[in-house]
Structure 1
């Protein structure tokens, strides 16, 4: 059949290719047996280290020349970035199982951080245990390449099962809030994040030598820089707030500047992926917008609860949600765009 083709030359409507590569355990696990770090990954790590070294040096000099609360905060935040980048790089490059376990821990940490803040009663806390139990199941489905169950487990089965458990307890007071928050937390912080584990089950491609590690580092770099650049553009040019009652520090100038910058960075860093220029631009644009949306949603949740930060696990940044809100929101769109452009 003639027609549109993806970046590997496969017909977009070639159903035989789709089914033979999306569900076969043999093809889905090829990458696990060929693990290693190539030149593209080394370049990205080098770039990240250069950014951290320059930032650390700049904030150290600023603190010496003009001591201030801002300079101290920037130094603390940069030290935390060193730790976070080291953790991400190590868990990404060591072995797929280590990566999946690391991502699984982050999903668990997000749930563990937020549920106590919701002030749930004893019966709701029993349902929370079921929510925790979904984390290893969801990541197990991703690791073993069980794509159909992976896509349906939380948004189909748990979406019904969790509200049913809340109804069965016999107390309906506050049930609307619980039914809204618990399934949302699973979709946002478990289902969304677990798409990154599914990256390691994509078939090998002739268009990229960096493999799933490259795709994961690509997303980590884009989301991390998105936070930094939207903040920086907002500080430099920010005048008009996007969400004045939810997050007054987020401005249109910061949003637009960050989105355009990330779009260009996505194109420049596409050597980590099998994407062409326009595909990389679309992925970068969507990732930046999704990251902003995730950040805004988290800000709304925290404002409703009455807190500024979700925790204190990451010095200078706050809690896990404060750092991973955009990451968890961008993960699923990123995966599906990669799959659509290159594997469908």
Structure 2
């Protein structure tokens, strides 16, 4: 892990966030007194970015193991949010215990030791088969299919998908040794920037809703403007990656589209449960999953595209 290069990149982000914070402060001073939904939301997003940058910087300074442990904690918190919003029975307790304290740690351990074959199948194969068995031994058939599917979905989204972020550190890309951490930086900057840019473009020019039943704030104009802007940003960041500028743009386009579609999927689940947010861990932004839903859907695609096309 090339810490100085990562730190320089994060320092640039701190500078950008400083400008954004000052701009938000000036806009707040010039706005009319009282609540302002747009400025409040923008300020909450900026604050969330500050937290993310400092936490990531600390983890990168501590080394690859710290990065893996950070995302393991993120997965734990996200899985807890997911399970909290899904009905469970006493018969599910063993399966849930295994999910939190066996499957989750094992998935991240596999990412740490670079055992890709087992890492890729632990949850979608063994977890898919073993966890229902752990629930069925109690002989409780009530809503069994729904209960089992919810646990499996929770593991897939919050553990399997998110674990692909630190797994980027294990890729052996020719000519890119020691710089794998920059792949994480690239992924998070592009995906999270796309979310912010979609919000800004939507507020400025949004007229047509993409899926009003799922997310009343997502517009066609916001989607197009945000994805294209984030794609351009990805192309500008190509030197952080092993890609050419046009490859970085293509990667950025794919992950931002996956992030957007993933956000719709997670919104559908929230609407099904009758809630606005997954939790209240992050002030003004709900829970962990509210901030990482797009990352969860984009990380595995980014990881596998990079592994398939850029590793021996």
User: What is the CA deviation profile of residues 127-173 of structure 1, one whole-angstrom value per residue up to 9, with x for unaligned ones?
Assistant: 21111121110000110111111111111111111222233321222
Q: 1:280 to 1:72 in 2, by over 3 A?
A: closer
The answer (yes or no) to whether the contact 2:91–2:136 under 8 Å persists in 1 is: no
Please report the TM-score for the alignment, with normalisation by the length of structure 2: 0.93
The alignment status of 1:109 with 2:77, answered yes or no, reads yes
- Aligned residue in 2 for 1:52: 17
Which among 113, 116, 125 is matched to residue 144 of structure 1?
A: 113
User: What is the CA deviation profile of residues 43-96 of structure 1, one whole-angstrom value per residue up to 9, with x for unaligned ones?
Assistant: 421331122111111111122221333334433442232112211222134200
Q: Distance in 1 between matches of 2:177 and 2:148?
A: 44
The alignment status of 1:69 with 2:32, answered yes or no, reads no
Which among 135, 151, 157 is matched to residue 188 of structure 1?
A: 157
Secondary structure of the residue aligned to 1:211 is coil
The alignment status of 1:256 with 2:221, answered yes or no, reads no
The answer (yes or no) to whether the contact 1:38–1:210 under 8 Å persists in 2 is: no
Rg (Cα) greater in structure: 1
- Aligned residue in 2 for 1:213: 181
The answer (yes or no) to whether the contact 1:56–1:75 under 8 Å persists in 2 is: yes
Q: 1:213 to 1:93 in 2, by over 3 A?
A: farther
Q: Distance in 2 between matches of 1:84 and 1:280?
A: 23
Q: Distance in 2 between matches of 1:116 and 1:325?
A: 16
4+ aligned runs moved over 6 Å, structure 1: none
- Aligned residue in 2 for 1:18: none
Deviation at 1:277, TM superposition (A): 2.3
Q: Distance in 2 between matches of 1:197 and 1:47?
A: 22
Say which is worse superposed, 166-175 or 108-117, in terms of deviation.
166-175
Question: 1:111-190 counterparts in 2 under 5 A?
Answer: 111-132=79-100, 133-190=102-159
- Aligned residue in 1 for 2:263: 295
Question: 1:24-103 counterparts in 2 under 5 A?
Answer: 35-39=1-5, 41-66=6-31, 67=33, 68-70=35-37, 71-103=39-71
Question: Which has the bigger relative contact order, CA under 8 A and spacing at least 6?
Answer: 1
- Aligned residue in 1 for 2:212: 244
- Aligned residue in 2 for 1:13: none
Deviation at 1:285, TM superposition (A): 0.8
The answer (yes or no) to whether the contact 2:2–2:178 under 8 Å persists in 1 is: no
Secondary structure of the residue aligned to 2:163 is helix
The alignment status of 1:273 with 2:241, answered yes or no, reads yes
